[in-house]
Structure 1
Amino acid sequence: MKIINLVENESGDSGCEAAHGLSFYVETENHKFLFDSSPSEVLIRNAKTLGVDLTAVDTVILSHGHYDHSGGILPFVELNPQAKIYMQHNAGGEYYAFDGQDKGFRYIGIDKKILSLPQVQFLKGDTKIDDELQVFTVDQRAYPLPSTNKRLRELCNDQYIQDEFHHEQNLLLTAGGKKILFCGCAHNGILNVMETLERKFGPASLPDLVIGGFHLMKRTEFSEADTAEVTEIANRLKSYKAHFATCHCTGLPVFNQMKEIMGDQLTYVRSGDEVIVE
C-alpha cells in the first residue's frame, strides 16, 4: 500500500508546492485513487514532481463541496476522463465563507462544471463502493462541531444559514490487513466521525490510521475556549489505538498543541510526504 499527500498547506522536502487544500494519492491491491483533488492544477504539477501517474487513477472521492478539495477535478479529468468521481448528492450546493463585515460572504463551493461530468457518481449517505472502499456520513453528533465552522454558511432561500455539512463524507479503506480512515476536513468534528464509524460499523471498524484535517485552525489569536477545545479533542483522540496523520485545516499551531498531549500518536504530513502504514 502507498499513501502520498500530493497537496496540502505546507511543503515538505520533496520539492512539491504547498497550497491551501488537500489531495491524497493511494495505491492498494485493487485501486489507485485520489481522496480529494486540491484547489487547482497544483495537483497535476505535484503528481508530476513525484512521478505519480494520474492517468492510472480509477477512482476519485470528494470529501465535501468546497473548492480547496475539488479545484483539481477539472484539470484531472483532462488527463483522465475514465476515473469515477464519488461525491455526496448535495456537494454542489451554494457554500460560502463569511470573511467579516468589510468583505462579506465569499463563495467557496465547487465549480458547477464538475456537476455535469459524466463520470460523477452522486451518493446519498453511506455507500459501500467495494470491499476496500466504504464511504459514510455523520448522521448524528455526540460531540460539538468545531467552533471554526461558525463562519461557514450555505445560501438557502436568499439567507446565509449555518452550513450543517450534510455534504461531507468520509472514507474507510480496508486494505493490506489495515483499516484507514480518511477525512477531508472533519467539519462534522473528528470525534463525531470516530463515534459514527464505530456506531455504524462496530468496534472492529475502528481504524489503525486516521488521515486528514480536523478543521481547528483560526485566522485570529486563540482564546482560552479555543485552547480548551483543542485540548479536549486531543485527549479524547488519545484514547483510541489509532495513529493520526493530520494536515491542512488542522494548522501547525494546533498540531503542536495536540502533539504535546498525543506524542508519537500524532504526526503532520506535508505536500509530497508519504504516509507510512505500519
Structure 2
Amino acid sequence: MKLTVLVDNNTLIDRYLIGEPGVSYLIECDGKKILFDAGYSDVLLKNAQTLHIDLADLDDVILSHGHNDHTWGLNHLIQYYDRAIADPQKKINLISHPAALIPKYYHSRPIGLNHRQDEHDFFFTRICTREPLNVSEHVTFLGQIPRNNSFEATEPVGHTHDQNGELMDDYVLDDSAVAVKTKTGLVIVTGCSHAGICNIIDYAKQVTGETRIAAVIGGFHLQNADEETLSKTGDYLKHLAPETLYPCHCTDLAAKISLANYVKINEVGVGLRLDFAV
C-alpha cells in the first residue's frame, strides 16, 4: 500500500509543490488507484502532474465528507477528465456517505458541494452508504462513524438540511474515513475527523477486526481545542500506542505540540509518500 499526499495545508522543504487548506491523498493498494478527497481547487491536478502521477486511470474517488476543502477539487477533476478522456472505458466509483451530497452552510455561506450532481453520471458511478464498504481486499470505507465518547464531536459545524428541507445544526454525520489492513496493522486515513479521531480509530478496529494501529494520517479536527479534549485525546493515543501519527490539515500547532507530549508525531506536507506492506 502506497499513500501520496497531493493536497495539504503544508508543503515539504525542497519539494516545490503547492499547498492549500484542503486534503487529497492517492492510495494505491490491491492493484487499485483510490483518490481520497479532492481538495479545494485544481491544486491536486498541478501537484499530481509535478509528481508524474496520472489521475486519468483512477478506480475510486472517496469523499471523507461534504465540506468544500475536500470536495471542490472534484469540479476540476471532472474538467480534467473531460479534456483527457473523451470516451471513458470505465466509470469511476464515487463513494461517500449520502449526507455528503446535501447542501451545507456556515453563517449562511455555502460550504458543501458546488457542482451539479447529475454531471457525475458520465464519469462516475455514485455509491452512497452509511455502512462500511470494502473498496478492495485491504481497503475499507468506514461509513457513518458511531460517536461513543463524551469529548469529541460535541459541537455542530454550520447547518445542513433535514429530510424536509429545513435547516438544522450540522454535526457532520457524513464524516468518515478509510482503514487499510497492512502487515503491521491498520493505516487509518482521515479527512477532518469531525466524528472524532478516537471514535474513528475505535470504529476502524471494530469493523476490520484488527487492533494494531500502524499509522494514522489526516486531519484530527483539533483547532482551538480545549485542554480537556487535548489531554483525553493524548491519553487515548498514548494507550493505543500507534507506530506513527501524521496529524495535519485541521490540526493546529498547539494541538500538535500537546499530542507530542504523549506520542511521537510526524510532519506532513504535499509530496509525502508512505509505504506499508499488505
- The TM tier, using the shorter chain, reads 0.7 to 0.9
> How many Å separate the matches in 2 of 1:167 and 1:151?
12
Q: Deviations over 1:154-209 (max 9, x none)?
A: 2446764321222122111225665311111110111111222233443x254311
RMSD: 2.3
Secondary structure, aligned partner of 2:205: helix
Q: Verify the 8 A CA contact 1:134 1:171 in the aligned structure 2.
A: yes
Aligned-partner residue type, residue 173 of structure 1: V
Q: Name the structure 2 match of 1:88.
A: 97
Aligned-partner residue type, residue 90 of structure 1: A
Q: Verify the 8 A CA contact 1:11 1:272 in the aligned structure 2.
A: yes
Q: Name the structure 1 match of 2:112.
A: 109
> How many Å separate the matches in 1 of 2:200 and 2:51?
31
Q: Verify the 8 A CA contact 1:35 1:62 in the aligned structure 2.
A: yes
CA shift for structure 1 position 273: 1.8
Q: Name the structure 2 match of 1:121.
A: 127
CA change 1:238–1:177 in 2 (3 A) is closer
> How many Å separate the matches in 1 of 2:59 and 2:79?
14
Q: Name the structure 2 match of 1:130.
A: 136
Q: Deviations over 1:54-107 (max 9, x none)?
A: 11322111100111101111211333464221111221112122xxxxxx3321
Aligned-partner residue type, residue 46 of structure 1: N
Q: TM-score, normalized by length of structure 1?
A: 0.85
Secondary structure, aligned partner of 2:240: coil
Aligned-partner residue type, residue 174 of structure 1: K
CA change 1:208–1:115 in 2 (3 A) is farther
> How many Å separate the matches in 2 of 1:153 and 1:69?
17
Secondary structure, aligned partner of 1:17: coil
Q: Name the structure 2 match of 1:38.
A: 39
> How many Å separate the matches in 1 of 2:183 and 2:74?
28
CA change 1:236–1:95 in 2 (3 A) is same
Q: Name the structure 2 match of 1:195.
A: 202
Report how many residues are paired. 262
> How many Å separate the matches in 1 of 2:65 and 2:118?
13
Q: Name the structure 1 match of 2:230.
A: 230
Q: Say if 2:213 is the partner of 1:207.
A: yes
CA shift for structure 1 position 268: 2.7
Aligned-partner residue type, residue 221 of structure 2: H
> How many Å separate the matches in 2 of 1:215 and 1:60?
22
Secondary structure, aligned partner of 2:200: helix
Q: Name the structure 1 match of 2:85.
A: none
Q: Verify the 8 A CA contact 2:17 2:270 in the aligned structure 1.
A: yes
> How many Å separate the matches in 1 of 2:66 and 2:168?
16
Match of 1:167 among 174, 197, 208: 174
Q: TM-score, normalized by length of structure 2?
A: 0.85
CA change 1:12–1:64 in 2 (3 A) is same
Aligned-partner residue type, residue 125 of structure 1: E
CA shift for structure 1 position 146: 4.2
> How many Å separate the matches in 2 of 1:268 and 1:78?
32
> How many Å separate the matches in 2 of 1:42 and 1:49?
11
Secondary structure, aligned partner of 1:86: strand
> How many Å separate the matches in 1 of 2:165 and 2:28?
43
Q: Name the structure 2 match of 1:100.
A: none
CA change 1:176–1:44 in 2 (3 A) is farther
Q: Name the structure 2 match of 1:271.
A: 270
> How many Å separate the matches in 2 of 1:71 and 1:239?
37
CA change 1:248–1:152 in 2 (3 A) is same
Any stretches of 5+ residues in structure 1 without a counterpart?
A: 98-103
